[in-house]
Amino acid sequence: MLLHAHSGFRYLVLLTGVIVIAYAAYGLATKNQYGKRMRILSGIFTGVVDLTALLGLLVVIFTDNFYPQLTGHIMMMVVAVVTAHVVHGVMKRRPPEAQSFTPHLIGTLVVLACLAAGIIALGRPIIG
């Protein structure tokens, strides 16, 4: 059950990541002011990434099914979680005049690339 939940949450991560990217790109294109909505979207994205990582950790702990491809998967997921937290945390602590959409756009793209690489490391399709 945990493995299916962990695997299924990737779609929620992808969906929230695409929403963050779209909102950040829209904010950059229209030169909107950075605000609370971007922080909330970033927080939701980071939370979903965390929940997916927690489910993955529980899968590793409660199953005795460790194989070499998991090492690459786990490393990429750790990089993804750290990147999501760094972007969200740094932008949250910056003074309002220094906050921008660019770190969210780039950071979320990096997180999604790490997630894709981690899924591919297992030999599974990203979607499907």
Kindly report, residue by residue over 92-123, the tens digit of the pLDDT.
Answer: 899 988 999 999 999 999 999 999 999 998 88
CA-to-CA dists, residue 43 to 72, 101, 106, angstroms? 26, 14, 16
Helices (H), the chain: 2-30, 36-62, 69-93, 102-121
Model pLDDT, residue 38: 95
> In whole angstroms, what is the distance from residue 68 CA to residue 121 CA?
10
Kindly report, residue by residue over 36-93, the tens digit of the pLDDT.
Answer: 999 999 999 999 999 999 999 888 888 877 788 788 899 999 999 999 999 999 998 9
Q: Is 65 helix (H, G, I), strand (E, B) or coil?
A: coil
End-to-end CA distance of the chain: 18
Closest among 28, 9, 6, 12 to 106, alpha carbons compared: 28
Q: How many residues does the chain have?
A: 128
Q: What is the pTM of this model?
A: 0.90
Residue 83: which residues within 8 A CB-CB, separation 6 or more? 107, 110, 111, 114
Q: Is 46 helix (H, G, I), strand (E, B) or coil?
A: helix
